[in-house]
């Protein structure tokens, strides 16, 4: 009897296994995103899997990485060769460094796959972005990630509270005419009208520094406090700047000295919130002042259409973003959000097909990014997307982190034709002369770590004007020199020269 039962059980199990295999023969591919705020993806994934079953031949699963945990997760997945994750977000501005990971062999070289399955992808993404993704990796020069078409150019702007400015009797043109070094009078007036606890100048210190001195971020430089600096030509971003194509210690230039002197004057006069000068409180304070519209002039690294975004509209005042330069394409911005395929993946073809489809097919991109029509959004009479806030609270991925956002439909708050203008705006952006250069910091890693620590100690307070540049700046420069700034600079310049010579 027992043997008989065992036989039947075995048979049943074999049959069950067979029926499973028949119903579920599509492989599962897993993608890991950055910056998501997603707690319920069931409705979306059901639709997506229905849609991609024939086109990709796989089932999709998603790991919704958040801002805070993505870096750590991605490093673990990639370094441990975890084959359960097929596609990973990457970029050039965070710890998930595209260039260094490709060099270490964590990412699959995609050139062959693009050749085989990438016709639609190539048509959907500008050639310049493909070029920006072409780098020297573990398997030689090639493309190691699908580059997302988003706000691929950088543009820093003064974020002006126009309502208040007009109340004070000035116009945006007055601001432009007076320039950063001549705003004393306007700030003094604001302080007089709005009271002593009002801080008119809402800076993000590092950004303000770049705006005033026309310096830009060099890809591969030390993390959040950049040390190196290239100088832009503010009138024509594709032409050489004041110092040509040479990397400088940004803190040692006369431009920087002039900037921090002026900031110190503004700070001493009480125009800048002291909370902005402390790393721990800086961002919170900035967000809070923006929410309250309790500022006159701020800084904002701008993306086309930002004035229509919910958080700007919620400020309840008229806001205008006054650009310092035309948008420029640099290496950092052109590798801003990409999707790479894990070299340990067992389904590279399906993964690539999915990425190609995601970046070229509006239906899939809309589904993944905005959710399901009728649940996460509805279309109004003009055919514009109106979000359902409750449903979006459980499903809002990072729009720009997903890929080609130019194929998304227009939303009601952005207005009809927004994505088309967006596309044109960035398609027309000019590249800087050294576009594509990435500093390989591995030979000077130790210097970089030491310099980063020194900069973290001094730079924010100086940029914000909280300390006296007469005493602090020389101390800062001396500390940088002691930490090996010259070695670091020489290494960077040698590499840049070699790059430009090619």
Contacts with another protein by CB under 8 A lie at 30, 32, 35, 37, 39, 61-64, 66-69, 71-73, 76, 79-82, 84-85, 93-94, 151, 154, 204, 206-207, 210, 217, 223-224, 275, 279-280, 282-284, 286-288, 290-292, 300-303, 306, 309-311, 314, 332, 396, 398, 400-401
Nearer to another protein, 131 or 394 (CB): 394
Q: In residues, how long is the chain?
A: 502
Nearer to another protein, 166 or 224 (CB): 224
CB-CB contact of 329 with 242 (8 Å): no
The distance of closest approach from Cβ of residue 269 to another protein in the complex, given in angstroms and rounded to an integer, is: 21
Nearer to another protein, 85 or 384 (CB): 85
The distance of closest approach from Cβ of residue 41 to another protein in the complex, given in angstroms and rounded to an integer, is: 9
The distance of closest approach from Cβ of residue 203 to another protein in the complex, given in angstroms and rounded to an integer, is: 11
The distance of closest approach from Cβ of residue 128 to another protein in the complex, given in angstroms and rounded to an integer, is: 19
The distance of closest approach from Cβ of residue 156 to another protein in the complex, given in angstroms and rounded to an integer, is: 8
Report the distance separating Cα 105 and Cα 95, nearest Å: 16
User: Among 61, 44, 63, which residue's Cα sits nearest to residue 377?
Assistant: 44
Distances (CA, A) of 356 to 28, 106, 125, 141, 347: 17, 20, 10, 21, 14
CB-CB contact of 341 with 347 (8 Å): no
Nearer to another protein, 57 or 223 (CB): 223
CB-CB contact of 446 with 245 (8 Å): no
Q: Which helix (H) or strand (E) holds 43?
A: helix 42-55
Nearer to another protein, 82 or 472 (CB): 82
The distance of closest approach from Cβ of residue 32 to another protein in the complex, given in angstroms and rounded to an integer, is: 8
The distance of closest approach from Cβ of residue 256 to another protein in the complex, given in angstroms and rounded to an integer, is: 16
CB-CB contact of 228 with 439 (8 Å): yes
Assigned token pair, 215:
């310096």
DSSP-derived 3-state class of residue 338:
strand
DSSP-derived 3-state class of residue 156:
strand
Nearer to another protein, 253 or 288 (CB): 288
Report the distance separating Cα 270 and Cα 284, nearest Å: 19
Nearer to another protein, 309 or 380 (CB): 309
Nearer to another protein, 131 or 281 (CB): 281
Assigned token pair, 272:
């800048």
Residue appearing with tokens 């995103």 = 33
Residue appearing with tokens 């490093």 = 75
Burial 399-434 (b: 16+ CB within 10 A, else e): ebbbbbbbbbbbbbebeeebbeebbebbeebbbbbb
Report the distance separating Cα 165 and Cα 258, nearest Å: 26
Nearer to another protein, 184 or 318 (CB): 318
Nearer to another protein, 118 or 148 (CB): 148
The distance of closest approach from Cβ of residue 215 to another protein in the complex, given in angstroms and rounded to an integer, is: 12
Nearer to another protein, 286 or 353 (CB): 286
Nearer to another protein, 115 or 284 (CB): 284
The distance of closest approach from Cβ of residue 309 to another protein in the complex, given in angstroms and rounded to an integer, is: 6
CB contact set of 351 (below 8 Å; sequence gap of 6+): 29, 31, 58, 86, 87, 341, 345
Burial 151-175 (b: 16+ CB within 10 A, else e): bbbbbbbbbbbbebbeebebeeeeb
Distances (CA, A) of 159 to 84, 109, 300: 44, 41, 6
The distance of closest approach from Cβ of residue 112 to another protein in the complex, given in angstroms and rounded to an integer, is: 28
DSSP category for residue 342: B
**Cβ atoms within 10 Å of 182's Cβ, excluding its own:** 12
The distance of closest approach from Cβ of residue 177 to another protein in the complex, given in angstroms and rounded to an integer, is: 26
The distance of closest approach from Cβ of residue 303 to another protein in the complex, given in angstroms and rounded to an integer, is: 4
DSSP alpha helix (H) spans, 197-336: 205-213, 254-268, 279-292, 310-313, 331-334
Residue appearing with tokens 């700030």 = 187
């Amino acid at each position: 009897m027992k043997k008989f039962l065992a036989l039947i059980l075995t048979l049943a199990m074999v049959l069950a296994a067979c029926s499973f295999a028949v119903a579920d023969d599509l492989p599962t591919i897993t993608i890991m995103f950055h910056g998501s705020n997603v707690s319920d993806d069931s409705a979306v994934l059901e639709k997506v899997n229905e849609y991609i079953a024939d086109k990709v031949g796989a089932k999709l699963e998603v790991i919704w990485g958040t801002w805070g945990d993505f870096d750590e997760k991605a490093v673990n997945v990639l370094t441990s060769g975890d084959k359960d994750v097929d596609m990973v977000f990457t970029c050039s501005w965070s710890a998930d460094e595209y260039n260094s990971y490709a060099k270490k062999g964590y990412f699959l070289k995609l050139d062959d796959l693009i050749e085989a399955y990438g016709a639609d992808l190539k048509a959907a993404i500008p050639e310049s972005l493909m070029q920006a993704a072409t780098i020297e990796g573990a398997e030689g020069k090639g493309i190691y990630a699908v580059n997302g078409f988003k706000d691929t150019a950088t543009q820093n702007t003064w974020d002006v509270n126009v309502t208040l400015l007009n109340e004070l009797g000035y116009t945006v043109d007055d601001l432009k005419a007076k320039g950063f070094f001549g705003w004393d009078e306007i700030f003094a007036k604001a302080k007089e009208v709005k009271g002593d606890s009002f801080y008119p100048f809402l800076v993000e210190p590092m950004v303000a520094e770049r705006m005033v001195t026309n310096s830009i971020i060099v890809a591969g430089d030390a993390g959040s406090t950049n040390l190196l600096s290239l100088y832009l030509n503010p009138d024509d971003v594709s032409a050489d700047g004041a110092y040509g194509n040479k990397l400088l210690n940004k803190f040692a230039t006369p431009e920087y000295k002039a900037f921090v002197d002026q900031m110190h004057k503004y700070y001493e006069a009480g125009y800048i919130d002291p909370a902005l000068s402390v790393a721990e409180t800086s961002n919170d304070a900035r967000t809070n002042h923006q929410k309250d519209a309790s500022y006159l002039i701020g800084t904002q690294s701008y993306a086309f259409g930002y004035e229509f975004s919910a958080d700007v509209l919620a400020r309840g005042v008229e806001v205008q973003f006054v650009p310092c330069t035309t948008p420029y394409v640099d290496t950092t911005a052109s590798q801003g959000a990409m999707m790479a395929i894990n070299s340990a993946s067992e389904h590279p073809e399906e993964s690539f097909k999915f990425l190609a489809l995601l970046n070229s097919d509006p239906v899939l991109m809309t589904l993944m990014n905005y959710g399901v029509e009728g649940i996460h959004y509805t279309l109004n009479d003009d055919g514009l997307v109106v979000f359902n806030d409750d449903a979006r609270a459980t499903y809002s991925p990072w729009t720009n982190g997903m890929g080609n956002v130019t194929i998304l439909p227009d939303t009601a708050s952005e207005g009809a034709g927004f994505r088309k203008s967006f596309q044109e705006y960035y398609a027309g952006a000019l590249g800087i002369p050294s576009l594509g250069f990435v500093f390989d910091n591995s030979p000077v890693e130790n210097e970089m770590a030491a310099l980063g620590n020194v900069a973290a100690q001094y730079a924010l307070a100086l940029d914000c004007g909280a300390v006296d540049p007469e005493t602090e700046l020389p101390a800062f420069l001396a500390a940088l020199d002691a930490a090996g700034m010259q070695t670091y600079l020489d290494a960077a310049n040698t590499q840049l020269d070699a790059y430009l010579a090619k």
